[in-house]
């Protein structure tokens, strides 16, 4: 299925947010995710389903000031 990840359309076979992050080699422990504009708590990544056409933003903290 096709989804949008950080503004780019990708194909994935993942069915959950955790599976998608794993397949994309994204470290779950150091990112925050918003699915279709809604923040998803890290504890829900394993059970949060993803569907074709969804929009996912994955953000990593940055240092600076």
Q: How many domains does the chain have?
A: 1
Question: Has residue 64 been placed in a domain?
Answer: no
Find the DSSP H helices in the chain.
Answer: 17-23
pLDDT tens-place string over residues 6-53: 999 999 999 999 999 999 999 999 999 999 999 999 999 999 999 999
Q: Please tell me the predicted confidence (pLDDT) of residue 63.
A: 67
Range of the domain at 18: 2-59
Question: Has residue 44 been placed in a domain?
Answer: yes
Predicted confidence band at 54 (pLDDT cuts at 50, 70, 90)? very high
Whose CA is closest to 5, among 42, 31, 43?
31
Say which residue the tokens 């000031």 belong to. Answer: 65
Question: Has residue 65 been placed in a domain?
Answer: no
Whose CA is closest to 19, among 8, 38, 3, 37?
3
Answer positive or negative: Cα dihedral of 6, 7, 10, 12. positive
Please give the biggest Cα pair distance in the chain.
39
> What pTM, to 2 d.p., does this model score?
0.89
CATH code for the domain in which residue 32 is found: 3.10.20.30
């Amino acid at each position: 299925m096709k989804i949008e990840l950080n503004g780019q359309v990708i194909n994935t076979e993942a069915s959950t947010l955790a599976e998608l992050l794993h397949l994309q080699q994204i470290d779950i422990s150091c990112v925050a995710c918003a699915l279709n504009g809604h923040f998803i708590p890290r504890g829900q990544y394993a059970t949060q389903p993803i569907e074709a056409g969804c929009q996912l933003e994955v953000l990593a903290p940055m240092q600076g000031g």
